[in-house]
Amino acid sequence: MKTKLLLFLILILITTVSSAEAHTAKVLDDFKFDVGWENEPPITGEENAIEIVITLADDYEKQNYDPIYFNTVRDSNEESSEKNLSGLENNLEIQVKEGSEKKILTIKESSEFPGVYYGTYTPSLTEHPHVNIFGTIKNMEFDASFVIEKPEQGTSQSYSIPEWVRNNAEWWSEGVINDSDFVSGLQFLIKQGIMQVPQTESNTSTSENIPAWIKNNAEWWAQGVISDDDFIKGVQFLIQNGIIKV
């Protein structure tokens, strides 16, 4: 009986430690920021959320966790308490950086757990995202950077490209098809479900210019130099920047 109980406790400890290691924690004065994924492990192409848990830091955490340095502070003699943890949606700005792409998240506080905030985000790369937090808590203005768990590659292919699209990509790279016609063609194929791409959110700011590397990718993909994954990343870039509207 004692052996079974010991094994059960060890299992709980391992699970707890594993979950904690997937998050990154830092301390700002009296507050601990714990940042990671809501659903673990994160999978590329699957909707998830960045989870930010703000709690009161104990003495051990203040001494052993990496500090967050605040930029300015307005005088306050108020003692830190749990009421400082809640209602910060409008005081915090969350930015996620994957590769060269950056996105500002809209965050919401949990209705069940004060001090727990979520920003919906779908990872697209199998590399460690950087989460930057800017804001104010208890009159302290700060900015902090967290490196969180690397997403795993989705087990199932989440896109489908008709083979004849290669011809269109090659003609576009050679100038036979202009930018507008190529983009309109991709947009039509995606909207009609003929060509499928992973779920991709568009940024609030848009652009009409197609970077040269997108056309280079299209040419190399048509020639079989790069993979379907690389071509799809270019299509996702066009969607994220409002050039393709789906």
Give the tens place of pLDDT for each residue, 44-78: 888 899 999 999 999 999 999 999 998 877 666 78
Q: Is the pLDDT of residue 13 over 50?
A: no
pLDDT-based confidence at 101, cuts 50/70/90?
Answer: confident
Note whether 123 and 193 are same-domain residues: no
Whether residue 186 is contained in a domain is answered as yes
Note whether 90 and 195 are same-domain residues: no
Note whether 200 and 107 are same-domain residues: no
Of 115, 147, 179, the one marking the end of a domain is: 147
Global pTM exceeds 0.85: no
What pLDDT is attached to residue 73?
72
**Boundaries of domain holding 111:** 23-147
Give the long-range contacts of residues 96-99, CB within 8 A, separation 24 or more: 96/50, 96/121, 96/129, 96/130, 96/131, 96/132, 97/129, 97/130, 97/131, 97/132, 98/123, 98/124, 98/125, 98/127, 98/129, 99/125, 99/127
For the chain, what is the domain count? 2
Average pLDDT over residues 208-233: 87
Residue pair 122/49 in contact (Cβ under 8 Å)? The answer is no
